[in-house]
């Protein structure tokens, strides 16, 4: 395994993707250090999930370069793509668990599809993944018989059973209340450090992302308009960052003005 420049595991340069006349990614770039937890923030519909799917090979970008561990990921380079798939996992929005499979069968599936392991070893590794996420007692249950939190842990067990170096999380807290969002980000941070994988998360949940991440980026109009530490993000005077970060405070000010009978200010500068 090669050592990427400056400890980088993933490098994205100039990614472009359009669907018809709709330009979703317009020269998007990002660098992800090995062993870090990186969050890409952005409004709903800003292209975060498309960006992640381009990285995971689910969607093919129109232009740009993706390098994993220093090796460029070109569609025609099957060996590079196979190497990436064997070292990366994708945790889909909504978990994407198979309702007709038990918890154990869901976790075993990627091992069955991507390895030449014997059935006994697949079962042992799958049970170990369930145990690590405190789900071993529920191995014979179906996803519909598990709570929402258990389903999240089951999806993560399936994602880490192949012992990946990189895990891509697509909106892992979509539709969850604040307490459950906190729990999911705590789970990601805990297991990322325990299993030593690199995590790339796309989300629009600012407080949780800032608390859990080593590095954050903000996607706006198809480009990363900000990259830095959570502390840098919290202190940034960039107008786009401020508008995204301080939206709750802006709403509070507007409501206070409305209650006083004043015309609410719409200044976003």
Q: What is the pLDDT of residue 5?
A: 53
pTM of the entire predicted model: 0.83
- All structural domains of the chain: 5-236 (3.40.50.300), 237-269 (no CATH)
Q: What is the pLDDT of residues 233-251, one digit of tens each?
A: 999 999 889 888 876 555 5
Return d(Cα 32, Cα 184) in angstroms, integer.
21
Quote the CA–CA distance of 244 and 37 in Å, as a whole number: 21
The torsion angles phi and psi of 175, rounded to 5 degrees, stand at 80, 5
Is-contact 219 209, C-beta < 8 A? no
Q: Judge contact between 12 and 66, C-beta under 8 A.
A: yes
Closest to 189 (Cα-Cα) out of 204, 205, 206, 167: 167
N residues, the chain: 269
Q: Is 120 helix (H, G, I), strand (E, B) or coil?
A: helix
Cα torsion 110, 116, 117, 119: sign:
positive
What are the residue ranges in the chain where pLDDT is below 50?
1-4, 269
- Cβ neighbours, 10 Å, residue 58: 14
| Encoded tokens for 121 | 């070893």
What is the rounded CA–CA span in Å between residue 194 and residue 111?
A: 21
Specify the pLDDT at position 266: 55
Q: What is the pLDDT of residues 193-239, one digit of tens each?
A: 988 999 999 998 888 889 999 999 999 999 999 999 999 999 999 98
- Give residue 152's pLDDT: 87
Q: What is the pLDDT of residue 23?
A: 95
Query: What is the pLDDT at residue 4?
Result: 46
**pLDDT at site 249:** 59
User: How is residue 175 annotated by DSSP?
Assistant: T
């Amino acid at each position: 395994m090669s050592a990427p420049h400056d400890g980088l595991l993933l490098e994205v340069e100039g990614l472009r993707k359009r669907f018809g006349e709709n330009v979703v990614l317009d020269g998007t770039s990002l660098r992800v250090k090995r062993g870090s937890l990186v969050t890409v923030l952005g409004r709903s519909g800003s292209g975060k999930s498309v960006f992640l799917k381009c990285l995971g090979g689910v969607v093919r970008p129109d232009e740009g370069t993706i390098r994993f561990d220093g090796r460029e990921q070109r569609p025609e380079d099957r060996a590079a793509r196979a190497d990436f798939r064997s070292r990366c996992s994708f945790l889909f929005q909504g978990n994407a668990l198979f309702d007709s499979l038990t918890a154990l069968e869901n976790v075993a599936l990627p091992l069955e599809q991507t390895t030449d392991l014997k059935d006994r070893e697949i079962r042992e590794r799958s049970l170990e993944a369930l145990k690590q996420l405190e789900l071993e007692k529920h191995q014979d249950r179906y996803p519909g018989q598990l709570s929402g939190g258990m389903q999240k842990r089951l999806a993560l067990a399936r994602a880490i059973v192949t012992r990946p170096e990189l895990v891509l999380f697509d909106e892992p807290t979509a539709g969850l209340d604040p307490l459950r969002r906190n729990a999911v980000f705590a789970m990601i941070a805990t297991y990322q450090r325990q299993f030593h994988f690199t995590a790339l998360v796309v989300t629009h949940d600012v407080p949780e992302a800032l608390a859990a991440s080593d590095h954050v980026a903000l996607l706006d109009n198809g480009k990363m308009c900000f990259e830095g530490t959570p502390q840098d993000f919290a202190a940034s005077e960039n107008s786009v960052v401020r508008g995204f970060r301080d939206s709750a405070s802006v709403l509070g000010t507007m409501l206070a003005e409305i209650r006083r009978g004043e015309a609410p200010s719409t200044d976003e500068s």
